[in-house]
Structure 1
Amino acid sequence: MRKQLTTLFFGATAVLLSSCGGAKVQHDSKNELRASAYPLVTIDPYTSGWSFTDHLYDASTKHWTGKDLPLIGVAKVDGQSYRFMGDEDVELITLVETSEQAPWTGKYTTQKPAEGWQNLDFNDAAWKEGEGAFGTDNEPTAKTEWTTDYIWVRRIVDLPEDATQRKLYLNYSHDDDVIVYVNGVKVVDTGNACKKHVSAKLPAEALAALKPGKNLIAAYCYNRVGGALLDFGLSYEEEGQRSFEQTAQQISADVQPMQTLYKFACGPVNLDLTFTAPLFMDNLDLLSRPVNYISYEVTSNDGQSHDVELYFEAGPQWAVDMPVQPSIAESFTDDNLVFLKTGSRDQKVLAKKGDDVRIDWGYFYLAADREDSQCAIGNGQELRKNFCANKLDASKAEGRDRLALVRNLGNTKEAAGHLLIGYDDIYSIQYFGDNLRPYWNRNGNESIVSQFHKAEQEYDILMDKCTAFDNQLMREATEAGGRKYAELCALAYRQAISAHKLVEAPNKDLLFLSKENFSNGSIGTVDITYPSSPLFLIYNPELAKALMNHIFYYSESGKWNKPFAAHDVGTYPLANGQTYGGDMPVEESGNMLILAAAIAAVEGNADYAQKHWDVLTTWTDYLVENGLDPENQLCTDDFAGHFAHNANLSIKAILAIASYGYLADMQGKKDVAEKYTQKAKEMAVEWEKMANDGDHYRLTFDQPGTWSQKYNLVWDKLLNLQIFPETIAQVEIPYYLTKQNKYGLPLDNRENYTKTDWIMWTATLAPDKATFEQFIAPVHLYVNETTSRVPMSDWVFTDTPEQRGFQARSVVGGYFIKMLEGKLNK
């Protein structure tokens, strides 16, 4: 097995290397999937920039949390400016105050009202009156207590004569789902979300419905769980703040595994813009290099030469947690590169942890060839106006300086070039008290400037290698699971990798630490590692080990002394011990054992498991005692809550015990192998009796008439353990197809939501490619149509195109399980 996989892996590398000579490598085909969000800059959980809109210029680029990471791009052609990326920040003037600006009152009810409640002429005399905001006592702005599931609020506002002629914005904060109307016209419908201080431009229909005098803002909000909040007002944009009103025309957007490609028309020239992250997993120094590329190619579309300049601007938000934090900025040159740099003024390294938190130590950089480049730092509005006036300077902005870089392409019919964009986080992770540098500087002998120079020197060869890799991955994924499957894998690739940070532990262990994005912010979570692992098992099993090393160390060092595996080692980026509120004994122990067996299958030996044999034995014995019929506890789908007798969790325990037997056999421990393999087979027989519900198998052993996806069963197939009868999958797969909704197969009978990564695993149990594709098509449709414009969510509804929760998580690495099956079978 090891020889076969090694041949495949290095064969792929050979294809990449051979492609680098001669003509520039081109992509074979376009990804037709409309991404829920487009990856732009993907380095790690902190330096992560995305476009949440169909057109790159529709809104500011954002961090995966939804906070703005401003990155503006403008092409000036013969003196005309065309904005192709991002949006200008403008000052909004308050017109109707939110509760943080002034007291306001409205009518409200917590009982579903009659139709037409959102219209101005509705009779709300029976409604209560309360002061905004509405919410629970944990929200400091809440003035009227709201603790029920639903609330409807009507607020009459007086508008002056000229208000309807302005660019108006709805300002709102909410927890959770909110729908807001202006004079009966829907302006906002968030689905399941929780945000504060959002400004949404009123669409033309809503503006047309406004009139001088009395108007109505009406809002509905659904408090799903925990805290509740509803607050809203209006603001307007002062004229004359924008310099780049005219946008380019976006022709296409295309997400490939390592690259996102845009095509624009900017008047008489076309612009191709490509964002590239060279995330090659067989080169860890390159994988961890904190530098991405923004490439551009300009061609005349009328056969004439044109004067062309490209303007790029970045905000200090790339290097601070909150926009109000003061920053410093500078520019400098080094050899052939010009650099722009920004970072927080305080530089409190590794001082923060949490989920909805961005980095505020270290420094963000833009760089380019110094020839034909101009740069400036200062007030953003001045920089833009002065660029339009053919000069580039601005006054200082008191800790809010923007970075501006201009590339002068001259009078030309065609031109090409690139920028480099990156981040130096100085120290990345605190690991049981030790502050660890990023892997690229693990020995302290590198600098961020040296990394930029390496990236610049390797640009040509890496761009060709990235394109060749994209083509090969798409071909292999299409062969394995069809074109729609391949398009989902392309969108998953950078998301899965950049949700981790690569560092080296003091004992020289390689650590590839995940952040549990948009969930709870845990670091190194085992039940994030488990679904993420297929991607890394395919491309470099050393990274799969690096997903596990910290958990082995936690137990073997005595810092964790329970007889089962820990859930996590802290809250990102502080990995000092588990911070999650509850244990998942069967879940996490099963995950670690199965992945140890998967690594052995890929490598063709059990050397890694042998290093950790004592603790693997402890966890296995725990599962022998407690795994067949699990007590009331959480599994990886912890959002569904605690429950006992979980049939799918039991499968995991049984296959984990079988994995231990598999590993023992590879080490020549025949007696041990026979004992535990036989035990797993005996437990599987009992499982089949307890879970059998006629034409399918139950969610829990004690509840007839229930069902669930048995996605854990996939490892019996992939590792050829032969523990469960093949008839179980043969019964389940047709049954699942009867339960599919428009956007996917529900996780189980309790709710209409699902986990898209588990659908991939369940689909891999299918007997043929055609059946596999029947499960994939609804997931592809969801991503293509979702109204939740965020980096791919793995927890979504199956009856509506909305996320249920989670986004930008590494678990989409689990999409690659079908490709992993092909590697293992070969």
Structure 2
Amino acid sequence: MLALWFAIWLLTCFFTTATAAPSWTVSPFNPPAIPLAVRSPFVNVWLPNGNGTALFERWSQYYNGNNTSWTALARVDGTTYRILGAWDDLDFALPKQTSVQITGTSSIFTLKAGPVDLTYSFVSPIDPVDLTRFSMPFSYLVVTASSNDGILHDVQLYSDITAEWVTDPDSNTLVQWKTRETAPVGDAEGLFTHQVWQANPIPFSQTAANRIQDGTVFFSAFARQGLTLGNGYVGDLRQQFFRGGGLDNSTKDTRYRTTGDVWPGFAFSHQLGQVLATSEPVVFGIGHARENAVRYLTTGIVQQTRVPYYLTQYASSEAAMDAFMRDYPRAMDRASQVDSQLEAHGNEISEDYRGILQLSMRQAVAGLELTVARKPDGSLDKEDVMLFVAEYGGFRDKYRVNDVDQMHWMMPFLLYLNPELLKYALRPVLQFHKSGLVDSRYCIQNIGKTYPDASGPSEYEMPVGASAYMINMALAHYQRTGDKSLVDNYYDVLMKFADYLVDTTLSPAAQASISDTLWIEADAKQSNLAIAGIIALAAMSELSVAKDDATASQTYRNTANELVEDWQRLAISKDGTHYVYQYDDDKTWMTMYNLLDEKFLGLGVVPKNTFVIQEGWYNNRLALLHKNPNENKFPLQLLWKRGWTFTAATVWASGTVDKASTRDELLKGVSGQMRNGLSDHAASDWFDVNAVAGNNFNGRPHVGGYFAHVVLQNRTIQLDRPDAGGGGGGGAADDPHDSAILIRPVALLLTASVAFFGLILL
């Protein structure tokens, strides 16, 4: 009966509130925005979709809603169709969009341009095993054409970008550019690449609209027969193609200027000729690269420049872009493997969950940049690898660096891609403490207030949460890899955090429990925060085993066991129906997401009955919602006193329950919000449960938290070890950082609750 009520609720609350569905098919479902080129914090371009927007109806946008002018045209038997973008100064024909398929790495649009079918595939490869390729901030646009009436047709293709890709649309920033030719070498094809950059870059700085003020935009195509190109006023370039189906190969416009001054554009055109069967793919490459990736503060308050990991393999970003283009066949094969595994792993839970993951994978990976250190002599330290995590799209529009709370939410995603990535994400924070840059008993909340400037923490709002999460993440990495390097290098730092928790976690002082919620809750005696610290003390016991520190291990475990008994007494409501948000206040409650760390780590410190009671409470909340479907439109708000919810917390709550029916209801709420058609921004994870429009907190990498269930199922992406540079993109075969993912069991002092941990795998 509960399932029936929920089905009725979904239909009435999610789908009838939106307008009519699109006329084309969409898989897995129709999202608020569709990822196009989404591969880094600054390669983050989406099609605003709402309840259904064709590829040719709107300009593509940066995650925050600013236009990134990207146009594609197709000419069929002399008729020019607008395919991508919304430029309407010429009398373009419009195609008919017939389908959209979204996978973890790709968004594939099929369109009918009269007698020719066109496929436009936007592919952002994600190769977590080959760290050289993983670190490349580039994407492909792949186009094919075929006749749909059995007759030959003359087809030409066109695409351009403007300088809006490198700075704000209304910026007065001077922009420069060049077009570079790369000669063929052996079997490797030649290339042409348009490059655009700010004339006076400001490294490690952003504009008010969150555009980076350093780096180069690359737009590439293979130098094949039938290719023409050009630069200049973008309107003239489009008109050339509209009238003649090609460009004049002129790149003589060197009047460098601002973005809106006679809009400088950069274009390619491909003459496919007579097309019957599916044509060979036309491949464009696009991206934005910075060789000064992150500024990081080190011992002695020395500012260190971190560079992209791919520079350990290539001499420059130009060389990396060339390699990326020539690696296209291999990259597509590995992207297909990732997509297939993601689909299979998601379907093990449900179709709704699979769709959530497919829509979220690129959004999550866009927040990551893998780096190495540049030494004072200019050489690269290949052993000093750090992953930097950008926080953006949230309250106060902050762009914090390696925010510990955000990394905790993203932990499942990093474990799913490659557990070593989690280690590289933790290192910048742990090293900050080890270097003596922070005099604090507890963990700092972040290492910088404006990405990519990691020159010091901006806030200390989460002492209990940040300390607990760092310990729990360190153990999660060790359990899944057997790699003790974090324990060996940072044991004293982790012990300091644990000792702070011994004194504070049972009854936390007023503080935030989620980094974006200080403005709605910073209360004392939070039970959800307290249990995070208790779990962390049990986790520290296991890390002490890894360090052969038996005395500390026993002490931390005994303390955790004692504290959890007190917590059970303080946190349970008087009627025993749920765990309160604040001790001694039965009217309070919260989505108890921190319990999931017990499931991730299998520590056995949290009694089984805790999960049973909390699941009953979730079912109670769902039943109330079903009886009053107009009261709230989302299954769980974050806490009782505000009408806001955080979808990653809902997914984590669904990971703590035993019954698949309860789990699936919670997950359906998340997918329902993603498909309700009420927003046209990149997916939101934080919104009012009564509105569920999701027009704030958009495009955030926090959606990596959605991958909790695949980690609970012990799933990871499995790809072959990279070759010695195959296709011009891989790291050396003996590179210790380009390692295949191995899940190795580690002998830890786990209790009998290992059996309980297995319940979630059912």
Q: TM-score range by the shorter chain?
A: 0.7 to 0.9
Q: 1:404 aligned to 264, 267, 292, which one?
A: 267
Following TM superposition, by how much is the alpha carbon of 1:81 offset from its aligned partner in structure 2, in angstroms? Answer: 1.2
Amino acid at match of 1:34: N
Moved more, 576-585 or 277-286: 576-585
With a CA cutoff of 8 Å and minimum separation of 6, indicate the structure with the bigger relative contact order.
2
Residue 518, structure 1, aligned to residue 393, structure 2: yes
1:709 alignment counterpart: 591
- Match of 2:353, SS state, is helix
Give the alignment partner of residue 810 of structure 1, picking from 701, 719, 733: 701
Q: CA deviation at 1:797?
A: 2.5
Instruction: Give the one of 372, 389, 392 matched to 2:247.
Output: 392
- The question of 1:724 aligning with 2:606 is answered yes
Gaps of 5+ in 1: 1-28, 89-240
Secondary structure of the 2:611 match is: helix
Query: Displacement of 1:668 after TM fit?
Result: 3.5
Q: Counterparts of 1:188-227 in structure 2 under 5 Å? A: none
The alpha carbon displacement at 1:605 in A equals: 5.3
Alpha-carbon distance in 2 for matches of 1:382, 1:60: 19
| 2:494 pairs with one of 587, 608, 616 | 616
Give the counterpart of 1:415 among 251, 274, 279. Answer: 279
Q: 1:447 and 1:504 mapped to 2: Cα distance?
A: 14
Equivalent pairs: percent with the same residue? 23
Check 1:76–1:655 CA distance in 2 against 1; reply closer, same or farther (3 A cut): same
SS at match of 2:713: helix
Note the 1:12-91 alignment, pairs <5 A.
31-53=27-49, 54-88=53-87
1:775 matches 2:666? yes
Q: Which amino acid aligns with 2:346?
A: A
Equivalent of 1:630 in 508, 518, 529: 508
User: Residue in 1 aligned with 2:743?
Assistant: none
Asked whether the 8 Å contact 1:534–1:814 carries over to 2, the reply is yes
After superposition, the C-alpha distances for 1:289-317 in whole angstroms (9 at most, x for unaligned) are 23211111111111111111111010101
Distance 1:30 1:598 in 2: 36
Query: Could you tell me how far apart the structure 2 residues matched to 1:434 and 1:674 are?
Result: 39
Q: How many residues in Structure 1 have an aligned counterpart in Structure 2?
A: 643
- After TM superposition, the structure 1 = structure 2 runs for residues 38-437 of structure 1, keeping only pairs within 5 Å, are 38-53=34-49, 54-88=53-87, 242-243=89-90, 245-324=92-171, 325-335=173-183, 336-350=190-204, 352-353=205-206, 356-371=209-224, 372-390=226-244, 392=247, 396=253, 399=257, 400-413=263-276, 414-417=278-281, 418-432=283-297, 433-437=303-307
- Checking the alignment, whether the CA contact within 8 Å between 2:487 and 2:547 is kept in structure 1 is no
Task: Please give the alpha-carbon distance, in whole angstroms, between the structure 1 residues aligned to 2:324 and 2:195.
Answer: 17
Q: Which moved more, 1:398-407 or 1:513-522?
A: 398-407
How many Å separate the matches in 2 of 1:247 and 1:568?
A: 48
Match of 1:200 in 2: none
> 1:636-715 counterparts in 2 under 5 A?
636=514, 637-693=517-573, 694-715=576-597
The one-character-per-residue Cα deviations of 1:100-142 (angstroms, maximum 9, x if unpaired) are xxxxxxxxxxxxxxxxxxxxxxxxxxxxxxxxxxxxxxxxxxx
Corresponding residue SS for 2:358: helix
Q: CA 1:328 to 1:312, structure 2 compared with 1: closer, same or farther past 3 Å?
A: same
Q: Partners in 2 of 1:804 and 1:745 — Cα distance?
A: 19
The 2-side partners of 1:719 and 1:448 are apart by 40
**Could you say which structure has the higher strand fraction?**
1
User: Structure 2: how far apart are the matches of 1:605 and 1:287?
Assistant: 21
| 1:213-241 C-alpha deviation (Å, 9 max, x unpaired) | xxxxxxxxxxxxxxxxxxxxxxxxxxxx6
* Residue range with higher mean Cα deviation, 361-370 or 649-658: 361-370
* Matched residue SS, 1:341: strand
TM-score, structure 2 as length reference:
0.81
Question: Corresponding residue for 1:441?
Answer: 311
* Other-structure match for 1:224: none
Q: Distance in 1 between matches of 2:268 and 2:213?
A: 23
Structure 2 residue identity aligned to 1:344: Q
Letter in 1 for 2:542: Y
Shift of 1:380: 1.6
Q: Distance in 2 between matches of 1:454 and 1:574?
A: 25
Measured after TM superposition, the shift of residue 574 of structure 1 is: 4.1
Shift of 1:288: 0.9
Once the two structures are superposed, residues 491-541 of structure 1 have per-residue CA deviations (whole angstroms, 9 ceiling, x without a partner) of 111111111211113574321111111121111111110000111112212
Calculate the TM-score normalised by the size of structure 1.
Answer: 0.75
Bigger mean CA offset, 434-443 vs 415-424: 434-443
Per-residue deviation, 1:607: 4.1
Partners of 1:788 and 1:705 lie apart in 2 by 33
What is the Cα deviation at residue 360 of structure 1?
2.8
Name the SS of the counterpart of 2:279 in structure 1. Answer: strand
Equivalent residue number for residue 557 of structure 1: 435
Runs of 4+, deviation exceeding 6 Å: none
**What is aligned with 1:600?**
478
The answer to whether the 8 Å contact 2:119/2:143 transfers is yes
- Give the structure 2 partner of residue 110 of structure 1: none
Name the SS for the 2:524 alignment partner: coil
Is the 8 Å Cα contact of residues 355 and 518 (structure 1) preserved in structure 2?
no
Counterpart-to-counterpart distance in 2, 1:244 and 1:703: 66
Shift of 1:322: 4.7
8 Å CA contact retained: 2:444, 2:460: no
The alpha-carbon deviation at position 589 of structure 1 amounts to 0.4
1:331–1:375 CA contact under 8 A, matched in 2:
no
Answering whether residue 345 of structure 2 is matched by residue 473 of structure 1, we say no
User: Which runs of 5 or more residues in structure 2 are unaligned?
Assistant: 1-24, 184-189, 258-262, 298-302, 375-380, 623-631, 716-757
Change (3 A) 1:51 1:649: same
Instruction: Report how far residue 743 of structure 1 moved.
Output: 2.6
Distance in 2, Cα, partners of 1:527 & 1:597: 16
- Give the secondary-structure state (helix, strand or coil) at the position aligned to 2:714: helix
- The match for 2:326 is 457
Q: Considering only aligned residues, what root-mean-square deviation do their CA atoms show, in Å? A: 2.0
Say whether 1:482 aligns with 2:358.
no
Q: Which amino acid aligns with 2:41?
A: P
CA 1:605–1:462 in 2, change beyond 3 Å: closer, same or farther? closer
Match of 1:787 among 659, 670, 678: 678
- Separation in 2 of the partners of 1:38 and 1:332? 31
User: Secondary structure of the equivalent of 1:437?
Assistant: strand
Output one character per residue of 1:534-578: Cα deviation in whole Å (capped at 9) or x when no partner.
Answer: 111122121101111111111110101111111111133343433
Letter in 1 for 2:270: R
The amino acid of 1:715's aligned partner reads D
1:261–1:746 Cα change, 3 Å? same
Following TM superposition, by how much is the alpha carbon of 1:453 offset from its aligned partner in structure 2, in angstroms? 2.8
Once residues 195 and 170 of structure 2 are traced to their aligned partners in structure 1, the CA distance between those partners, rounded to angstroms, is: 17
Q: Is the 8 A contact 1:645 1:700 kept in 2?
A: yes
Instruction: Between 360-369 and 706-715, report the one with greater CA deviation.
Output: 360-369
Report the residue type matching 1:379 in the other structure: Y
What amino acid sits opposite 1:472 in the alignment?
Q
1:18-66 per-residue CA deviation (whole Å, 9 max, x = no partner) reads: xxxxxxxxxxx97321122111112210121111122222211111121
Deviates more, 1:77-86 or 1:573-582: 573-582
Q: Which moved more, 1:353-362 or 1:401-410?
A: 353-362
Question: Could you tell me how far 1:442 is from its partner in structure 2?
Answer: 4.4
Give the letter for the 2:544 counterpart.
A
